[in-house]
């Protein structure tokens, strides 16, 4: 419950490419200790030949299991299916893009980076070389190595599929820039963050849920506790702004 007796929303945390729900374990412990209900989702494109629509359905299925409002926290690639899903869900109060792809309708991950769409979108993108440096540069060594060992190939189709809807145009959103990110450089995050109603920064690499879960948990709860109607630092969703 909030201070005025209103039930808190449930936090749905959505992982990025090559990862799985396991990556949120440290953060969800912090959030649980703060009295928040949390849920995770397993995106089928990590480890299976699935595309954006499959991932979107997985997010929507989890949102339908939530009784009441939800705040969705999307990391990295997870921002793409979340953007599509929240346009269709009726219970999302806010979206938090954590070093995530806040794309618009018609855009894809490969297209955003100016990369060609493969002629054959089937198959997988291998786990990147040196994932510890890329994803976990500020995570303690043993924990970083353990995380890297759990990464799985990512479906190529998930990177080439384009969005058909952009939920952030109607649902309030906040962007969290990871200032020392080696996977999604801060300059790209700054561009994407311009689509959000508010922006925060955290002095972390790409995976603050592993490197600084306490600080990230405090920031997420601060965002989730604030109203999403344009007050207290939040602007209106893009579709409602006079810009």
Domain spans of the chain?
10-231
Copy the structure tokens of residue 101: 């792809």
Predicted local confidence at residue 42, as pLDDT: 98
Residues 6+ apart with CB under 8 A from 236: 172, 197, 229, 230
Pairing relationship of beta strands 173-178 and 92-98 according to DSSP bridges? parallel
Query: What is the number of residues in the chain?
Result: 243
Q: How confident is the model at residue 238 (pLDDT cuts 50, 70, 90)?
A: very low
Predicted local confidence at residue 239, as pLDDT: 38
Tens digit of each residue's pLDDT (9 = 90 or more) over 180-208: 999 999 999 999 999 999 999 999 999 99
CATH of 10-231 given 3.30.930.10, 3.40.50.1370, 3.40.190.10, 3.40.50.1820: 3.40.50.1820
- How many other β-carbons are positioned within 10 Å of the β-carbon of residue 3? 6
Predicted local confidence at residue 177, as pLDDT: 98
CB-facing half-sphere around the CA of 32: CA atoms within 13 A: 9
Residues 6+ apart with CB under 8 A from 113: none
Instruction: With beta carbons less than 8 A apart as the criterion, state whether 173 and 97 touch.
Output: yes
CA distance 237 to 240: 6
- Per-residue pLDDT averaged across 38-63, rounded? 98
């Amino acid at each position: 419950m909030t201070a005025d007796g209103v039930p808190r929303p449930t936090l749905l945390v959505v992982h990025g490419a090559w990862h799985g729900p396991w990556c949120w374990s440290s953060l969800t412990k912090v959030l649980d200790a703060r009295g928040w209900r949390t849920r995770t989702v397993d995106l089928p494109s990590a480890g299976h030949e699935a595309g954006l629509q499959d991932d979107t359905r997985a997010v929507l299925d989890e949102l339908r299991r939530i009784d009441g409002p939800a705040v969705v926290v999307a990391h990295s690639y997870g921002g793409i299916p979340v953007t599509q899903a929240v346009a269709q869900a009726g219970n999302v109060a806010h979206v938090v893009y954590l070093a995530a792809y806040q794309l618009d309708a018609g855009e894809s991950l490969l297209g955003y980076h100016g990369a060609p769409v493969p002629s054959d979108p089937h198959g997988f993108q291998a786990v990147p070389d040196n994932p510890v440096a890329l994803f976990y540069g500020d995570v303690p060594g043993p924990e970083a190595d353990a995380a890297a060992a759990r990464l799985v190939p990512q479906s190529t189709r998930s990177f080439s599929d384009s969005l058909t809807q952009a939920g952030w145009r109607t649902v309030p959103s906040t962007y969290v820039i990871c200032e020392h990110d080696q996977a999604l450089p801060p300059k790209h995050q700054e561009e994407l963050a311009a689509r959000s109603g508010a922006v925060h920064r955290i002095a972390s690499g790409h995976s603050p849920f592993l490197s600084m879960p306490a600080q990230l948990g405090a920031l997420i709860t601060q965002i989730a506790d604030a109203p999403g109607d344009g007050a207290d630092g939040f602007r209106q969703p893009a579709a409602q702004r006079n810009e």
